[in-house]
């Protein structure tokens, strides 16, 4: 405890010296967590101690603070010239605590794009010792967008795998009565009205800035129509609840936006109990307040939703959280569409949500991508508001850093071609290294004069002298001629003797078939292996003479 107190004191003094004698607990907490990541496990206790120490230091004069820091840690007196661009900035107004939320729509599992939302929230909450809520945003949206029962568990499983901790779970579908109460409150203060215009009429009026006749209805008329909506006396599209904003607002989309609408479709959790559903900004204006959310991280494309929430808070006379935005992160090779992937899963075109073509967290896990690699990949972009498109290789590079040093090498030949080697010396068994790192040992392979090579290599090098990797040199043909054992500077190709069947599920869903060396049978599901000159793979299943693997990356 004494060492921890000394560490926190140093950083609190540094923050005070840099900022006119007033240390900020949130900034100090962020600095400590960045310098000592293992303390994230004790973030709550550390946060309380930081506040105590900051309170003591802020009672000192700036001269006293400088003197103590110079004696205690003179190296911290110099301010770094430039912060790394990918470091997460400090949150403002954290003195009373940090409460954040994730709001996935359960139409499918989280994918690589959603991981940014989850990881950024998790990082901030752990930094400040706060709370993070998982709120399933499972209201019924458009006819193409409806919650899927399986998705709730898929989302939770994905978050657990990512190492994202949350401190409470809420379902919007359980909170409809709350939203109805707040909608009625809004009607009673004259802030909303029930509109019976057609969608086309509503669109034209909004474009022209014209108020519809329903806007002038009395509060009593609106309450009566609202209760008719709740009682099922309107059909879909016959009535909606709209907020009163400025119909001359420069942005037509902000003019009298829809707050609630009717849907008669069945919900997977609550059935047909409800048929009036709030839109995103109304439900969040209520829940961000009721759940005590302090900071909301969201994409910069949701600025309109920010405006609506703020407008509603003003009408209700309540407070809400701060909004922090980030840009879109796209992986070039990933076509991210839950609705499209869902159709392919249901039709059987995809093998399931862990099919590599979905780019879901489940699919990345099955390919052998580590959650730590995803976190490093996400954090490498910081909180930039710029839209970013990067190749998948950026993610793969992070994964290689984690697995390369301990992943055994093995040989695999896709589309195999059998060759017979003439005049081959009798070498019996050979020992091949499992990895350039000697500590991973060696394996024995029995070498016969009939071996298999990749079909692509056969076509490319036929008639030329090549080296069978770590073995000897031959003139390549169906009947190949042995030339020498000396290690020449000639093309090197992998080979297989005494083969087993191997199937590789590729990223595009296709399957590459070939032969692998027998020792691959010794691996277990989830083990990572590097197929030489082919790429890293994750072992998916092992049978008597057959192995199925998923391709991770080159």
pLDDT band at 33 (very low <50, low <70, confident <90, very high): confident
**For residue 59, what are its two tokens?**
């009672």
> Tokens 């992986």 appear where?
331
So what's the pLDDT on residue 411? 98
Is the per-residue pLDDT at 83 higher than 50? Answer: no
Q: For 428-483, what is each residue's pLDDT tens digit?
A: 899 999 999 899 999 999 999 999 999 999 999 999 999 999 999 999 999 999 99
CA nearest to 534, candidates 357, 413, 398: 413
pLDDT of 84 strictly over 60: no
Considering only 63-77, 196-210, 440-454, 526-540, which range has the smallest mean pLDDT?
A: 63-77
Alpha helices in 294-392 (DSSP H): 303-316, 338-347, 361-367, 371-379
CB 135 within 8 A of CB 291: yes
| The pair of three-digit structure tokens given for residue 396, joined into one six-digit string | 């793969």
Q: For the chain, first and last CA: distance in Å?
A: 46
Tell whether the model's pLDDT for residue 70 goes beyond 90: no
CA angle 388–390–395, rounded 5-degree value = 120
Residue 81 above 70 pLDDT? no
Looking at residue 1, what is its pLDDT? Answer: 67
Report whether pLDDT(143) > 70.
Answer: no
Structure tokens at 19: 């900022």
* 340, pLDDT greater than 90: no
Question: What's the CA gap between 310 and 319, in Å, rounded?
Answer: 9
Q: Which H/E stretch holds residue 209?
A: none
CA distance 3 to 8: 9
pLDDT of amino acid 79: 63
466 has which bridge partners? 474
Residue 408 predicted with pLDDT over 50:
yes
Q: State the SS3 of 371-383.
A: HHHHHHHHHCCCC
Question: Which value, to the nearest 10 degrees, does the dihedral of the CA atoms of residues 141, 364, 507, 146 take?
Answer: -10
Strand 442-446 relative to strand 429-433: parallel, antiparallel, unpaired? antiparallel
SS3 readout for 496-547? ECCEEEEEEECCCCCEEEEEEEHHHHHCCCCCEEEECCCEEEEEEEECCCEE
Residue 486 is inside which H or E element, if any?
none
**Is the confidence at residue 5, as pLDDT, over 70?**
yes
Q: Beta strands 412-414 and 511-517: pairing type?
A: antiparallel
The model's pLDDT over 500-536, given as tens digits with 9 standing for 90+, comes to 999 999 999 999 999 999 999 999 999 999 999 999 9
Give 212's DSSP letter.
P
pLDDT, one tens digit per residue, over 159-196 is 999 999 999 999 999 999 999 999 999 999 999 999 99
pLDDT above 70: percentage of residues in the chain: 98
pLDDT at 146: 82
Q: How confident is the model at residue 85 (pLDDT cuts 50, 70, 90)?
A: very low
Rounded to whole angstroms, the Cα distance separating 68 from 71 reads 5
| pLDDT for position 43 | 82
Q: What are residue 327's DSSP bridge partners? A: none
Instruction: Report how far residue 482's alpha carbon sits from residue 488's, in angstroms, rounded to the nearest whole number.
Output: 14
How far is residue 526's CA from residue 421's CA, in Å, rounded to a whole number?
A: 36
Burial 38-56 (b: 16+ CB within 10 A, else e): ebbeebeebbebbbebbee
Sign of the CA dihedral with 228 first, then 233, 236, and 237 last: negative
Of 411, 468, 404, which Cα lies nearest the Cα of 436? 404
For the stretch 347-388, pLDDT in tens is 899 999 999 999 999 999 999 999 999 999 999 999 988 888
The token pair that represents 316 in the structure block: 């209700």
Question: What are the structure tokens assigned to 543, written together?
Answer: 């049978």
Which spans in 19-113 are helix H?
25-35, 43-57, 62-72
């Amino acid at each position: 405890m004494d060492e921890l107190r000394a560490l926190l004191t140093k950083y609190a003094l540094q923050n005070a010296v840099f900022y006119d004698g007033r240390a900020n607990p949130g900034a100090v907490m962020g600095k400590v967590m960045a310098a000592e990541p293992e303390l994230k496990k004790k973030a709550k206790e550390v946060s309380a101690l930081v506040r105590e120490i900051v309170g003591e230091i802020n009672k000192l004069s700036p001269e006293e603070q400088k003197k103590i820091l110079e004696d205690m840690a003179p190296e911290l007196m110099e301010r770094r010239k430039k912060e790394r661009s990918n470091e997460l900035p400090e949150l403002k107004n954290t003195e009373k605590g940090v409460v954040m939320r994730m709001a996935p729509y359960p139409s499918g599992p989280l994918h690589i794009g959603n991981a940014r939302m989850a990881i950024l929230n998790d990082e901030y909450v752990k930094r400040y010792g706060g709370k993070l809520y998982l709120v399933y945003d499972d209201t019924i949206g458009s006819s193409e967008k409806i919650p899927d029962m399986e998705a709730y568990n898929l989302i939770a499983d994905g978050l657990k795998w990512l190492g994202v901790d949350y401190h409470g779970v809420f379902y919007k579908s359980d909170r409809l009565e709350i939203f109805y109460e707040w909608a009625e409150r809004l009607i009673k203060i004259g802030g909303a009205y029930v509109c019976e215009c057609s969608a086309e009429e509503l669109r034209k009026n909004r474009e022209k800035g014209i108020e519809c006749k329903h806007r002038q209805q009395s509060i009593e008329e609106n309450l009566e129509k609202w209760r008719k909506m709740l009682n099922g006396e309107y059909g879909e599209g016959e009535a909606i609840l709209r907020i009163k904003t400025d119909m001359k607002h420069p942005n037509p989309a902000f003019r009298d936006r829809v707050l609630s609408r009717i849907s008669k479709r069945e919900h997977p959790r609550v059935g047909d109990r409800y048929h009036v559903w709030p839109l995103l900004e109304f439900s969040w204006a209520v829940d961000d307040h009721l759940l005590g959310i302090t900071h909301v991280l969201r994409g910069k494309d949701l600025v309109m939703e920010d405006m609506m929430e703020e407008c509603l808070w003003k009408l209700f006379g309540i407070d809400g959280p701060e909004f922090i935005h980030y840009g879109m992160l796209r992986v070039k090779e990933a076509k991210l569409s839950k609705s499209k992937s869902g159709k392919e899963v249901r039709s059987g075109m995809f093998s399931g949500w862990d099919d590599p073509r979905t780019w879901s967290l489940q699919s990345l896990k099955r390919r052998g991508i580590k959650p730590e690699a995803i976190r490093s990949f996400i954090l490498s972009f910081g909180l930039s508001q710029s839209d970013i498109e990067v190749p998948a290789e950026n993610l793969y590079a992070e994964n290689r850093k984690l697995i390369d040093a301990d992943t055994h090498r093995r040989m695999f030949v896709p589309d195999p071609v059998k060759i017979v080697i003439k005049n081959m010396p009798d070498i019996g068994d050979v020992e091949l290294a499992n990895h350039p790192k000697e500590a991973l040992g060696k394996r024995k392979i029995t070498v016969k004069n009939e071996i298999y090579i990749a079909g692509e290599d056969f076509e490319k090098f036929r008639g030329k002298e090549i080296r069978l990797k770590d073995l000897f040199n031959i003139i390549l043909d169906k009947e190949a001629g042995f030339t020498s054992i000396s290690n020449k500077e000639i093309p090197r190709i992998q080979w297989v003797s005494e083969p087993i069947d191997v199937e590789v599920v590729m990223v595009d869903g296709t399957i590459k078939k070939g032969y692998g060396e027998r020792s691959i049978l010794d691996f277990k599901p989830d083990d990572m292996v590097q197929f030489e000159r082919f790429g890293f793979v994750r072992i998916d299943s092992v049978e008597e003479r057959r192995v199925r693997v998923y391709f991770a990356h080159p």
